[in-house]
Amino acid sequence: MGCCRATGGTPATAPRAGAQWRSRRRPIQIPKPTEADKAYFRSIVPDDPRVEVKPMFGNLGAFVNGNMFMGLFGADIGVRLAPDDASTVLAVDGAGPFGPAERPMGGYVSLPPSWRGRPDTATWVARALAHVAEKPPKAAGKR
């Protein structure tokens, strides 16, 4: 008796491995930024011709060569930094992982909210841009 007979199905209709687990996952919560959050994000995006700001799931992302270096997730500003720089930022009170709590984005850190409007923010955004600009350009996706 094969797996298909036990479930009463044929190979095409048999349950896929992991399907039951996937159906139990809770959906990821994506907070929506306020217009003030979006305006602040845009105000700290470097004035660089290589940089492009794009909407992402109701939030915003700043990209260089097709790679995201800074993102907005609700009110949180996240940057992609080299590991040593990320460790430095994560040591500051209020910094933390960036993105959904259920699945934070690897390589990104949330800047501390206390840095909002301070020169520290621009410094780390510039470091993120420089770090990500060194990566190869992302290939254009099929549409």
CATH number of 30-133: 3.90.1150.30
Mean pLDDT of all residues in 31-57 = 95
Reported as a single tens digit per residue, the pLDDT across 87-110 is 999 999 999 999 887 888 989 999
Mean pLDDT of all residues in 55-76 = 95
| 18: alpha, beta or left? (left if phi > 0; alpha if psi -120 to 50) | left
Domain parsing of the chain, residue ranges: 30-133
pLDDT recorded at residue 85: 96
